Amino acid sequence: MRFNPALLLGFASVSLAYSSARTFRRSPDEDKASAVVDAFTLAWGGYWENAFPNDTLRPISNIGDNDRNKWGVTPIDALSTAAIMGQADIVQQILDFVPTINFTTTEEPDSVISVFETNIRYLAGLISGYDLLTGPYQDLAPDSDKVEVLLDQARILADAISFAFDTPSGVPSPNVYLNPEPRRSDGTQNGIAGIGTMILEWTRLSDLTGDEKYTQLVQRAQDYLLHPAESAEPFPGLIGTEVSLETGEFLDSRGGWSAGTDSFYEYLIKMYLYDPVFFEEYKDRWVLAADSTIEYLASHPSSRPELTFLAEFNGTTLTPSSGHLASFSGGNFILGGILLNEQKYIDFGINLTESYYATYEGCSSGIGPEGFRWHDDALPEGEENRLPPDDQVEFFEEAGFWVTSPYYILRPETLESLYYSYRATGDTKYQDLAWEGFQRIMEVCRAGSGFSGLTNVREADGGGYTDFMESFFLAETLKYAYLIFAEESDVQLKIDGPNGWVYNTEAHPVRVRG
């Protein structure tokens, strides 16, 4: 696509609708930004000393775990953050490591490879590193041969797992193996997040390499999600979750903005940012989904009706249940509002951001839980819309939700939405909330040689440690925390000018087309 002159012409003639009225003073805060950098270097150092070259630090045991096929997920996921924070030494450590990875096999036989996780962490980490280090951060990597290896490895990785798409429908298998020989898992279905969260990375890879095969694979799969059967779309734009690998047909009509579906919606508007001409239909689908979400899924707890959470749906039956993952939705609405110049999406996104942050404020640790529910007066009474369990009646009265999954694994989504709220409004209130959340994470999750997930956020001390520092803590949580306080730069979201970068769902920025 990239070489089609007609398309380029089309791109040039369209300008995104930015409002010139929304120009705010920003208040970068050097001390707070540097406190976030300190947390990043501490986390990285803990990993490097105790876990490298394994995937993930266990900060209490001081050893490395291999949960992502032992290709070294923490360094690849940390690269874009290290670049944006200007950490030349860490960038160098990672660039020296990258050529040693063999993405064509796994060291362990029968090591299951999640296509989704591999795409959002490894492939995106490599591509983003390449875009950043050939662009605004090239001074951090003077040896351009080492930077080229990032793109070589991205291509090798995509080539190694692209047989995931060799299903009868072209919908990718969710899991594959490379050792002892390449094969797909036995599963017969994949979720819309698994299918619809490849389009950005594989399109960027095609644009960088000039090889169309990557984007062709993902577009064919995405097509089933853009044109679902009526029965799989209970509300306009809101679609089911599981899709058959055999036929590309939907197997259910349940969904929402949580696990298994979330980043499908996220990428619809992000592809419009990537290329507003070529991906216009994606934007139209996002608008349908966003409008239906405001109309049907917005739900208010009976004990605190000023809060807005997003309910899940099964057909047209709603369940007032959500979780930490879904708290990215505020930021995604705000991004859509900025790109489309629609204040209603920004306002709704801010309501979501503040409401999901209230799940942090409601818990004794000051950090929000993985899963929660609420009761909504406006929905039919019954099992789906039930009252809180006896031991959380008081908690629900005060907090507006009750906890169904009490753990916290260093997830980023709440800080991510605070970042978008701050960029959209310039209101330092969102910096203050982000600082509060960041400090709680510093106090409660700081453990051993790094940071650890928590077992129970309802306890002031987090209940106990999971002894696991997920790579997304470095890729996302600390990146968004940093950007909220950092100076203006190329990669900061702009509300009043063209955006040259789009963040994948793991917070890896890649260059937009054009």
Ligand X SMILES: *[C@@H]1O[C@H](CO)[C@@H](O)[C@H](O)[C@H]1NC(C)=O
| Options 205-213, 332-340, 345-353, 490-498: segment touching ligand X (CB under 6 A) | 345-353
Q: Which of 60, 63, 226, 251 touches ligand X by CB under 6 A?
A: 63
Using the rule CB under 6 A, which residue among 34, 61, 93, 105 binds ligand X? Answer: 105
Other beta carbons less than 10 A from residue 269's beta carbon? 27
Stretch that binds ligand X, among 7-15, 62-70, 264-272, 385-393 (CB under 6 A): 62-70
Partners of residue 309 on adjacent β-strands: 299
Determine which one of 201, 233, 262, 470 is catalytic: 262
Query: From the candidates 233, 413, 476, 506, which is the catalytic residue?
Result: 413
Backbone φ, ψ for residue 134 (5° rounding): -100, -5
Q: Check residue 400 for interaction with ligand X (CB under 6 A).
A: no
- Which residues, including other chains, have CB under 8 Å from residue 4's CB and lie 6 or more apart? none
Handedness of CA 250, 256, 260, 262 (dihedral sign): positive
470 counts as catalytic = no
- CB neighbours (10 Å) of residue 38? 11
For the chain, the residue count is 514
Residue nearest to ligand X (CB): 64
Which residue number, 1 or 156, has a Cβ lying nearer to ligand X? 156
Identify which range of 29-37, 99-107, 199-207, 506-514 contacts ligand X by CB under 6 A: 99-107
The token pair that represents 256 in the structure block? 């929402």
Beta strands in 17-105 (DSSP E): 56-58, 63-65
Cβ within 8 Å of residue 429, ≥6 positions away = none
| Rounded Cα distance, 15 and 494, in Å | 14
66 binds ligand X (CB under 6 A): yes
Query: Do 464 and 111 meet the contact criterion of CB atoms below 8 Å apart?
Result: no
By CB under 6 A, which span of 347-355, 375-383, 485-493, 501-509 interacts with ligand X? 347-355
Taking CB under 6 A as the rule, does residue 153 contact ligand X? no
For residues 435 and 485, what is the distance between their CA atoms, to the nearest angstrom? 9
The residue among 227 and 344 lying less far from ligand X, judged by its C-beta, is 344
Contact predicate 204/132, CB 8 Å = no
Q: How far apart are CA 339 and CA 459, in angstroms?
A: 40
371 Cβ neighbours under 8 A, 6+ residues apart? 321, 322, 323, 324, 403, 404, 405
- Residue 404, annotated ligand binder? no
Write the interaction track for ligand X spanning residues 9-48; mark x where CB under 6 A is met and - where it is not.
----------------------------------------
Contact predicate 72/53, CB 8 Å:
yes
- Given 321, 351, 359, 421, the residue binding ligand X (CB under 6 A): 351
The nearest distance, CB 315 to ligand X, in angstroms, is: 6
The contact pattern for ligand X, residues 290-309, with x = CB under 6 A and - = no contact, is ----------------x---
Binding status of residue 314 toward ligand X by CB under 6 A: yes
Q: Are strands 113-114 and 175-177 parallel, antiparallel or unpaired?
A: antiparallel
Q: Are 493 and 499 in contact (CB under 8 A)?
A: yes
Residue with smaller CB distance to ligand X, 67 or 397: 67
Convert residues 180-209 into a mask of x (bound to ligand X by CB under 6 A) and - (unbound): ------------------------------
Residues 6+ apart with CB under 8 A from 102: 71
User: In this chain, which of 33, 39, 43, 51 binds ligand X, going by CB under 6 A?
Assistant: 51
Q: Is residue 348 involved in binding ligand X (CB under 6 A)?
A: yes
Which tokens go with 478? 């600390």
Q: Across-strand partners of 372?
A: 322, 403
Instruction: Render the burial of 85-109: b for 16+ CB within 10 Å, e for the rest.
Output: bebeebbbbbbeebeebebebbeee
Taking CB under 6 A as the binding criterion, the range among 97-105, 168-176, 218-226, 228-236 that sits at the site for ligand X is 97-105
Minimum distance from CB of 181 to ligand X (Å)? 10
Residue of the chain from 32, 36, 40, 64 that contacts ligand X (CB under 6 A): 64
CB of 161 to ligand X, least distance (A): 14
Nearer to ligand X, 276 or 400 (CB): 400
Residue 107: active-site member: no
Angle at 257 (CA atoms; ends 253, 262), nearest 5 degrees = 100
Residue 223 has which token pair?
A: 């097509």
Q: At its nearest, how many Å lie between ligand X and the CB of residue 300?
A: 8
For ligand X, which is the closer residue by CB, 349 or 412?
Answer: 349
Member of 54, 153, 321, 431 binding ligand X (CB under 6 A) = 54
117 catalytic? Reply is yes
The residue ranges that bind ligand X (CB under 6 A) are 51, 54, 63-64, 66, 102, 104-105, 254, 306, 314-315, 344, 347-348, 351
- The annotation places the binding site for Ca(2+) at 505
Active centre residues (catalytic): 117, 262, 370, 413
